[in-house]
Amino acid sequence: MTVTTTRNDSKKAGPWLVLLLAGAFEVGYALSVGGSEGFTILGWSISAFVFFLLTLFCLSVALKTIDVGIGYAVWAGIGAVGAALLGPVFFDEALNPVRAIWLAVIIGGVVWLKLADSLKLDAQKTTPAPVWSP
């Protein structure tokens, strides 16, 4: 019993880490596109292209096990949070208190989704037939 629980937990952690990684690459993509100024600056344009491939690859890997609706929301959410946090570092942007509250809302929602997603796994694990309904 203990062994199967541990294995299921580690199985579930993987896709979520890959999904967060996809979000991180999405941030790199967004910042690169911003820096490329309409793909007129070569270095930023190449960087944008590489991040574009990486983010979609990781998203695709994560979506093998995570529902697409959840995966997309988390992907977009992490991307938005990262861009808002790193924007002020690279470009002339500001992070005001109102935006900080929205960041907290997004992060809270992502954590909630992770818990809701794991809950489904537990339900499937303990009940033999897939009787889970909305």
Partner 1 sequence: MSWLYLGIAVIFEVAVGLFASKANGFTRLWWTIATLVSGAIATFFLSLALLTFDVGVGYAIWTSVAGVGIVIVGALFLDQRLNWRKALGILIVIGGVVGLQLSGAA
Positions touching partner 1 (CB under 8 A) are: 33, 38, 52-53, 56-57, 59-61, 63-64, 67-74, 76-77, 80-81, 84, 93-96, 98-99, 102-103, 105-106, 108-110, 112-113, 116-117, 119-120, 132-134
Q: How far is the CB of 132 from partner 1 (least distance, A)?
A: 7
Please say which residue, 27 or 74, places its beta carbon nearer to partner 1: 74
Nearest-approach distance from CB 28 to partner 1, in angstroms: 14
Between 12 and 99, name the residue whose CB sits nearer to partner 1: 99
How near is the Cβ of 47 to partner 1 at its closest, in Å? 14
Range 34-43 contact pairs with CB under 8 angstroms and sequence separation of 24 or more: 34/87, 34/90, 34/91, 35/90, 35/91
Q: How far from each other are the two terminal CA atoms of the chain, in whole angstroms?
A: 27
Cα–Cα distances in Å, from 62 out to 13, 18, 77? 10, 6, 15
Q: How far is the CB of 2 from partner 1 (least distance, A)?
A: 26
